[in-house]
């Protein structure tokens, strides 16, 4: 049996290749406990052939600052790059706002000699003897030297010297070999910060199946033991699986331009899909820190079924980002929660059947929901309206703020709470169709099981590279990425013929400070015009990096997963399914598509 397991802040969802589903409360203090229990529930205790896993452990450890004590070794004169950061401010007009604290304390930032020029040529050499001693208080070490994205020789010397001392070392040339010193340093440090936290957990997951994979932020599967060494690549691990599957469903129903809308118990994740392809991101930001790793352009807000509703000191209703989580959960769970949540409001309004039950929890206590709402002095309809407005704004971020009209798009709704709120969000944005896929409540787990094995490699370029250089670099990166996917590190020549490779170029006009990733240099002008409203076709184009992404076959094709029995309906009304509840407002209708998806439409 092959299974997908998605660990969220409230529930852990499990889907098997035979279509069976299991949903159970997450175990935040020991996430692997729920993963093992969920796998056993579907396999009857037998060892699965394959386990594809999406996890929030890396993200939560970063947000909650529960990582290791990290030492940073960098080029002389650059120890404070991680604190100087960029000139932009988190809140432009608030002089009192603070930047996030760096992940490395000042006394653990160490400098080493050696220097490369901006084109990667050596100005001053470095030897193992130059590497400074690392304080005993450091649990792991990050190495990020100036311009090592162009030539990693110096960084290898320093890394090998530190590893010979028995230290756990993360090197930037292995994690983020891209230019921009601040972002590369933050990414490298974050990996060193997370590795001691995530390593044992992911190795435990690896022991649960014959083959275990983890989902990366770029929506591809990598071996779990490999992910244990590079946990910074997992910051959008769970949401990425749902986005990939949502894009496939949108294309299957003939609506390839869409926004995926994943509302769980703790947060809501949205992503723009164009032509059936999720939008990639040049980088991502988590906890106010920027990261340069391959990622989808997913925007997250603290709005979920467990989001807590309260009145602020001025008497205004606030919903989230604080969440009741899995423990104790909403008041209606009967697990000790006393504060009202979005789920409590939905239950009190009749949008969740009063006689319904949630997996692993049994029946819901509507009296407890009403009591919690009354104690807090909040109106359930107001709670729903506020959280819907928050999520509507999240969709605007990935559409209107990107120059895309949401009225031309479809909303693909999933997650335990997504189908409850999708129609209201769509209506507020002028969208006329909502797609609710089969297994919507555990859809990110479906996405994990149907995602490809994937690796992306990148190489920075210095100066003006000619056509021959670009071609040779692209060919070398394609071979490297293919080998990594085919044999998970096997020797060249072991390439799988089913592996597909895409090459992309990071381009910009000479003098620009930002770049756009395009399939070819020739496509840059058109893409620049689409995004920015103008282009200069006679201006020289600089290629600052080349990327190659290799994809292998997914464990399961989406069409092979059995669908569920569904019937249409006319609003207002509720469709209660085993893993989610769908609310159809007045004026909306729900029809069953041949793929098994529900198409919710309004005139």
User: C-alpha distances in angstroms, 51 versus 47, 212, 378, 400?
Assistant: 10, 5, 43, 38
The DSSP letter of residue 337 is: -
Cα separation, 54 vs 451, in Å, equals 11
pLDDT above 50: residue 231:
yes
In this prediction, residue 490 carries a pLDDT of: 40
Q: Would you say 402 and 262 are in contact if contact means Cβ atoms under 8 Å apart?
A: no
pLDDT in tens, 469-506: 899 999 999 999 999 998 644 444 445 668 999 999 99
Q: Which of 42-46, 244-248, 358-362, 522-526 has the lowest mean pLDDT?
A: 358-362
Cα separation, 262 vs 447, in Å, equals 12
- Cβ atoms within 10 A of the Cβ of 347, count? 26
Q: Tell me the Cα Rg of the chain.
A: 24
In this prediction, residue 496 carries a pLDDT of: 61
Q: Which element (helix H / strand E) includes 515?
A: none
In this prediction, residue 335 carries a pLDDT of: 87
pLDDT higher for 302 or 588? 588
Q: Which two tokens stand for residue 403?
A: 């120059």
Mean pLDDT score of the chain: 92
Q: Would you say 291 and 232 are in contact if contact means Cβ atoms under 8 Å apart?
A: yes
In this prediction, residue 557 carries a pLDDT of: 83
Average pLDDT of span 119-139: 95
pLDDT above 80: residue 438:
yes
Average pLDDT of span 99-118: 95
User: In the chain, what percentage of residues exceed pLDDT 70?
Assistant: 98
Q: Which two tokens stand for residue 235?
A: 């910051």
pLDDT above 90: residue 377:
yes
User: C-alpha distances in angstroms, 518 versus 280, 284, 472?
Assistant: 11, 18, 18
pLDDT higher for 541 or 9? 541
Cα separation, 345 vs 368, in Å, equals 11
In this prediction, residue 500 carries a pLDDT of: 93
Cα separation, 41 vs 487, in Å, equals 31
- Which has the closest alpha carbon to 492: 480, 510, 501? 480
In this prediction, residue 320 carries a pLDDT of: 86
- Which has the closest alpha carbon to 543: 518, 506, 503, 517? 506
Average pLDDT of span 127-135: 96
For the chain, the residue count is 603
Cα separation, 87 vs 104, in Å, equals 20
- List Cβ neighbours of 422 (8 Å cut-off, separation of 6 or more): 261, 263, 411, 413, 434, 436, 600
What's the half-sphere exposure (Cβ side, CA atoms, 13 Å) at 463?
9
pLDDT in tens, 337-351: 999 999 999 999 999
Average pLDDT of span 193-201: 93
pLDDT higher for 562 or 246? 246
Average pLDDT of span 58-86: 93
Q: Which two tokens stand for residue 282?
A: 């040049």
In this prediction, residue 488 carries a pLDDT of: 46
In this prediction, residue 88 carries a pLDDT of: 79
Average pLDDT of span 440-460: 93
pTM of the model: 0.89
pLDDT band at 561 (very low <50, low <70, confident <90, very high): confident
Average pLDDT of span 444-462: 92
Estimate the share of the chain in helix, then strand, then coil, as percent rounded to the nearest 5: 35, 25, 40
Cα separation, 13 vs 5, in Å, equals 6
Cα separation, 335 vs 337, in Å, equals 6
For the chain, what is the largest distance between any 2 Cα atoms, rounded to a whole number of angstroms? 75
Average pLDDT of span 440-463: 91
pLDDT band at 359 (very low <50, low <70, confident <90, very high): low
User: In the chain, what percentage of residues exceed pLDDT 90?
Assistant: 74
Q: What are the sequence ranges of the domains in the chain?
A: 49-215+225-235, 238-452+573-603, 454-551
Burial of 261 per CB tally in 10 Å (0-12, 13-18, 19+): buried
Q: Output the CA torsion 576→582→588→592 (10° steps).
A: -70
- The H-assigned helical ranges of 399-437 are 418-429
pLDDT above 50: residue 163:
yes
In this prediction, residue 493 carries a pLDDT of: 44
User: C-alpha distances in angstroms, 547 versus 241, 453, 490?
Assistant: 22, 17, 20
**3 state SS of 384:** helix
Average pLDDT of span 528-547: 92
Cα separation, 140 vs 68, in Å, equals 7
- List Cβ neighbours of 509 (8 Å cut-off, separation of 6 or more): 528, 536, 539, 540, 541, 542
- Which has the closest alpha carbon to 388: 419, 414, 421, 355? 421
CA 531 to chain centre: 23
In this prediction, residue 588 carries a pLDDT of: 97
């Amino acid at each position: 049996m092959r299974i997908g397991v998605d660990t969220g802040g409230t529930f852990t969802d499990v889907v098997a290749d035979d279509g069976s589903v299991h949903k159970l409360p997450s175990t935040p203090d020991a996430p692997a406990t729920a993963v093992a229990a969920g796998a056993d529930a579907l396999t009857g205790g037998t060892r699965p052939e394959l386990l594809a896993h999406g996890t929030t452990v890396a993200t939560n450890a970063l947000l909650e600052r529960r990582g290791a004590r990290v030492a940073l070794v960098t080029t002389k004169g650059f120890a404070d790059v991680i604190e100087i950061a960029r000139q932009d401010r988190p809140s432009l007009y608030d002089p009192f706002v603070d930047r996030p604290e760096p992940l490395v304390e000042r006394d653990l930032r160490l400098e080493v000699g050696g220097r490369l020029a901006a084109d990667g040529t050596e100005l001053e050499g470095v030897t193992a003897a130059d590497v400074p001693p690392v304080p005993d208080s450091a649990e792991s070490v990050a190495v990020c030297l100036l311009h090592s994205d162009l030539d990693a020789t110096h960084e290898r010397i320093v890394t090998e010297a530190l590893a010979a001392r028995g230290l756990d070392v993360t090197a930037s040339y292995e994690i983020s070999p891209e230019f921009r010193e601040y972002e590369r340093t933050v990414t490298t440090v974050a990996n060193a910060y997370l590795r001691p936290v995530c390593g044992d957990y992911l190795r435990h997951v690896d022991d649960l199946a014959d083959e275990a994979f983890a989902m990366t932020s770029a929506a591809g599967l990598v071996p779990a033991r490999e992910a244990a060494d590079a946990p910074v690549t997992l910051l959008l691990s769970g949401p990425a699986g749902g986005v990939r599957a949502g894009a496939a469903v949108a294309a299957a129903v003939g609506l390839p331009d869409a926004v995926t809308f994943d509302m769980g118990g703790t947060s809501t994740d949205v992503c723009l899909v164009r032509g059936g392809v999720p939008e990639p991101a040049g980088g991502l930001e988590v906890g106010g820190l920027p990261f340069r790793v391959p990622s989808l352009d997913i925007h997250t807000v603290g709005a979920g079924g467990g989001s807590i509703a309260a009145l602020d000191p001025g008497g205004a209703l606030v919903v989230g980002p604080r969440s009741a989580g899995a423990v104790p959960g909403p008041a209606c769970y009967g697990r000790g929660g006393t504060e009202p949540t979005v789920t409590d409001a939905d239950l009190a309004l009749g949008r969740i059947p009063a006689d319904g039950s949630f997996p692993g929890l049994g029946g819901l206590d509507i009296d407890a929901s009403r009591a919690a709402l009354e104690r807090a002095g909040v109106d359930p309809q107001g709670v729903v309206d506020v959280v819907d407005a928050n999520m509507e704004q999240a969709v605007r971020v990935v559409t209107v703020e990107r120059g895309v009209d949401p009225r031309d798009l479809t909303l693909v709704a999933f997650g335990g709470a997504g189908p409850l709120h999708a129609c209201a969000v769509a209506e507020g944005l002028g969208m006329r169709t909502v797609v609710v896929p089969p297994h919507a409540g555990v859809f990110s787990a479906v996405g994990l099981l149907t995602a490809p094995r994937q690796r992306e490699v990148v190489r920075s370029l210095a100066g003006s590279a000619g056509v021959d250089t670009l071609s040779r670099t692209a060919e070398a990166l394609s071979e490297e990425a293919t080998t990594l996917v085919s044999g998970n590190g096997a020797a060249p020549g072991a390439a799988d013929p089913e592996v597909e490779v895409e090459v992309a170029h990071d381009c910009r006009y000479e003098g620009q400070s930002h770049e756009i990733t395009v399939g070819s240099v020739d496509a840059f002008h058109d893409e620049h015009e689409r995004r920015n409203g103008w282009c200069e076709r006679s201006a020289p184009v600089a290629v600052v990096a080349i990327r190659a992404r290799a994809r292998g076959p997914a464990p399961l094709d989406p069409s092979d997963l059995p669908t569920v029995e569904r019937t249409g309906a006319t609003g207002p009304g509720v469709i209660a399914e085993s893993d989610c509840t769908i609310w159809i407002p007045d004026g909306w209708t729900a029809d069953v598509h041949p793929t098994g998806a529900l198409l919710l439409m309004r005139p």
